[in-house]
A and B are shown apart, each in its own frame.
Chain A
Amino acid sequence: MEKINVQICMGTSCYLLGAHAIIDYLESLPAKKKQHLEISGSTCLKACGKGPNVKINDELYTSVTPEKIKDLIDDLIDKL
Chain B
Amino acid sequence: MQVTEVTKLRRRVLTEVARQAFNGTLIDEISSIPKTVVTEDGLRYRCCIHKERAILRNRVSIALCQDVGDLIEDAAIAATNNEFKADQPIISVLPEACDGCPIDRFVVTDACRNCLAHNCMLVCPKKAITIHQKKAYIDQSRCVECGLCKKSCPYAAIIELSRPCERVCGVQAISADSTRKAVIDRDKCVECGACKIACPFGAIADLSFVVPVINEINAGKELYAMVAPAFVGQFGPKITPGQLFTALKQLGFTDVYEVGLGADMVTIAEAEEFLATVPEKQSYMTTSCCPGFVGLIEKHLSPEVAEHMSTTISPMVATAKVVKKEHPNSITVFIGPCTAKKTEAKKYPGIVDYVLTYEEIATMFVGKNINVTMIEDDGYQMRSSKHGAIFARAGGVLQSVAETIAAEGKSDLIKPANCDGLEDCKTMLLQIQKGKLDVNMMEGMACAGGCVNGAGILADSRLSSKLVENASKTNTITQAIDNSFAKEQLKDIDMHIPH
A interface with B by C-beta (< 8 Å): 10-13, 15-18, 20-21, 43-44, 48-49
Q: Which of A16, A17, A44, A49 has the most CB of B within 10 A?
A: A16
- CB-defined contacts of B12 to chain A, threshold 8 Å: 17, 49
Contact among B235, B369, B374 for A15, CB-based, below 8 A: B235
- CB-defined contacts of B327 to chain A, threshold 8 Å: none
- CB-defined contacts of A49 to chain B, threshold 8 Å: 12, 15, 366
A21 close to B2 (CB less than 8 A): yes
A17 to B362, CA, bound (A): 11
- CB-defined contacts of B359 to chain A, threshold 8 Å: 16
B366 close to A16 (CB less than 8 A): yes
* Size range of the chain B interface in the assembly: 20 to 34
B365: nearest residue on chain A (CB-CB)?
A12
- CB-defined contacts of B362 to chain A, threshold 8 Å: 12, 15-16
Question: B160-192: which residues lie under 8 A (CB-CB) from chain A?
Answer: none
CB distance from B225 to the nearest CB of A (A): 16
CB distance from A16 to the nearest CB of B (A): 5
A12 to B365, CA, bound (A): 8
B3 close to A12 (CB less than 8 A): no
A13 close to B3 (CB less than 8 A): no
B367-384 Cβ-contact flags toward A at 8 Å (1 or 0): 001111110000000000
A11-B371 contact, Cβ under 8 Å, with A16-B363, A17-B3, A21-B1 = yes
A78 to B240, CA, bound (A): 40
A12 close to B1 (CB less than 8 A): no
B210-242 Cβ-contact flags toward A at 8 Å (1 or 0): 000000000000000000000000011100000
A17 close to B236 (CB less than 8 A): no
- CB-defined contacts of B366 to chain A, threshold 8 Å: 12-13, 16, 48-49
Question: B235-257: which residues lie under 8 A (CB-CB) from chain A?
Answer: 235-237
Contact among A11, A16, A17, A21 for B374, CB-based, below 8 A: A11
B39-70 Cβ-contact flags toward A at 8 Å (1 or 0): 00000000000000000000000000000000
